[in-house]
Amino acid sequence: MKTKMKTMILAWSCLLAAGLSVTQNAVAEEEASKPNIVLINMDNFGYGELGCYGGGILRGGATPRIDKLAGEGMRLLNFNVEAQCTPSRAALMTGRYAIRTGNGSVPLSVADYGLTQWEYTMPEMLSDAGYATAMFGKWHLGQSEGRYPTDQGFDEWYGIPNSTDESLWPAQQDFQKYAKLAEKTGKNPMIKEEHIYTARKGSPVKAVKVYDIPARREIDREVTDHAKDFIGRQAKAGKPFFLYLPYTQTHMPNLPSKEFEGKSGNGNWGDVLMQIDAYTGELLDTLEHNKIAKNTIFIFTADNGGEMVPGYAGWNGPWSGSYFTGREGSLRVPFIIRWPGKVPAGKVSNEIVHQFDLFTTFASIAGGKVPQDRVIDGIDVSDFLLGKSEESGREGFVVYVGNDVHGVKWRNYKMLFKELEGDRGTGKLNVFPMPHFYNLFADPKEEYPVTQQMAGRLWYRWGLGPILVEHEKSLAAEPPIKPGTPDPYVPAKQNK
């Protein structure tokens, strides 16, 4: 009897072990089928900078690796972003208009800015889908505990919390005087030296060094090295990963690394373009070396159009306007995506895609979940990117500059209620008694509003207007989070 019982127990143990093995194998196979995602997000990088977008040697620095990448994948001519750094990054991370998250504008007076813990971010979504996640570079979505990248879904981070112009502060005598005064009195606590930080999920952030001019020059080199190390580690672990690389170039001051200083012979801008191209090439080579390039989605894009500061201004190709405006030079940025054997090689499209579409698209591809308890503005454009559809599915979007609606874009038409004079975001704001309408095929530089030249074509408004009406309805149904809202935050409708 005892022998029979032992035999039965042994049999059940074998069956249980076999079942666990099958389950573990199934999980491993599912993870192996998920593509890795590498997302490069340049800072204030104009539409016309790369060779494949009309720049490169025309701008003083060849970009052969990125141009080759474009030939191996799909290049979009109408990829759109929000008009400022913080809003752009908020939209990318949440799949929502930045106005909804309380981050519609670059923080100028609210120190406790950034994403509330209630927001469900891209790295959180991918982490829940089984991905390792890392971010190396500029965050600009929070500078306090609870608001850092490792509080918002990233497993690890190395970079800066805010903006690169802060690297100019330490060398200023008046800044040092008032920074010491602020430390002594406790007043004006944000007048302080910024640092480069490192962090792991579940642990406090650690300051590595002051973010000054020497650090500014080398941070993208360091970011690239961290990224290469992460790729190698995850390739060995056999786990799918999401690598987010928000580089600091070409935000002012756009100073090259010592490694690339003088390399182009055409000044800082040419040097920086060669640097960006080389770092991108290193990442591509690292994927090849680790034999995971074929199962990796590789994206090169930017958060905004080119700078508006004289001496640091970028080039937006055929478009007018800099970032901080509602013009195409602010909204359109380069977008290249490669996924060998999946994304059609060499394809070029003028279909509209918005940066918040990446959230829903990644969810579709990676098996992630899109929240159902809030408004999500992104749509799934995976069929379009994978060549299964010629249309993206997006007809247009509302154009924000800061927290203000400046207009609407629909297909190749545009309606603007407000415009800044000149090509820069520092111009005088003009509010029109009647909207200005543009046909972007006929007038790419937005020079001749329909109200002045082609009044008989105001039928445009019946394509443009409904987009704004639907958007305003959604804001009424789900009021935006107020800037500076602290955690914990729960929407009023969920708190009843």
pLDDT of residue 454: 65
- Catalytic entry in 14, 52, 140, 406: 140
Distance CA 488, CA 118 (A): 8
pLDDT of residue 112: 86
pLDDT of residue 14: 55
C-beta separation of 316 from 322 below 8 A: yes
Contacts of 259 (CB under 8 A, 6+ apart): 221, 275
pLDDT of residue 496: 46
pLDDT of residue 494: 57
CATH 3.40.720.10 residue window(s) in the chain:
40-388
Torsions phi, psi of 329, nearest 5? Answer: -65, -20
Looking up tokens 């013009």, which residue turns up?
A: 327
Alpha helices (H) along 141-255: 173-185, 213-237
- Catalytic entry in 52, 85, 251, 354: 85
CA-closest candidate to residue 464, choices 412, 428, 404: 412
121, 242, 375, 378, 439 from 356: Cα distances, Å: 11, 17, 12, 5, 24
The DSSP line for 45-106 is --TT-SGGGT-GGGGTS--HHHHHHHHHSEEES-EE--SSHHHHHHHHHHSS-HHHHT-SS-
pTM of the model: 0.93
Asked whether the CA dihedral 98, 106, 426, 353 is positive or negative, the reply is: negative
Distance CA 464, CA 445 (A): 19
Q: What is the pLDDT of residues 369-378, one digit of tens each?
A: 999 999 999 9
Torsion of the alpha carbons at 181, 183, 184 and 185, rounded to the nearest 10: 80
Which residue numbers in the chain have pLDDT < 50?
1-2, 23, 26-27, 496
CATH 3.30.1120.10 residue window(s) in the chain:
397-481
Distance CA 413, CA 430 (A): 20
pLDDT of residue 87: 98
Contacts of 193 (CB under 8 A, 6+ apart): 169, 170, 179, 210, 211, 212
**85 is annotated as an active-site residue:** yes
CA-closest candidate to residue 245, choices 190, 287, 307: 287
Supply the CATH classification number for the domain 40-388.
3.40.720.10
C-beta separation of 418 from 427 below 8 A: no
Distance CA 406, CA 421 (A): 13
Looking up tokens 């928000």, which residue turns up?
A: 246
C-beta separation of 339 from 296 below 8 A: yes
CA-closest candidate to residue 256, choices 309, 209, 226, 220: 220
Q: What is the pLDDT of residues 408-433, one digit of tens each?
A: 999 999 999 999 887 788 889 999 99
CA-closest candidate to residue 162, choices 148, 177, 150, 179: 148
* Number of neighbouring beta carbons within 10 Å of residue 129: 19
First to last CA, the chain: 62
In CATH terms, 397-481 corresponds, of 2.130.10.30, 3.40.50.10860, 3.30.1120.10, 3.90.1150.10, to: 3.30.1120.10
76, 113, 133, 199, 443 from 156: Cα distances, Å: 30, 21, 7, 6, 45
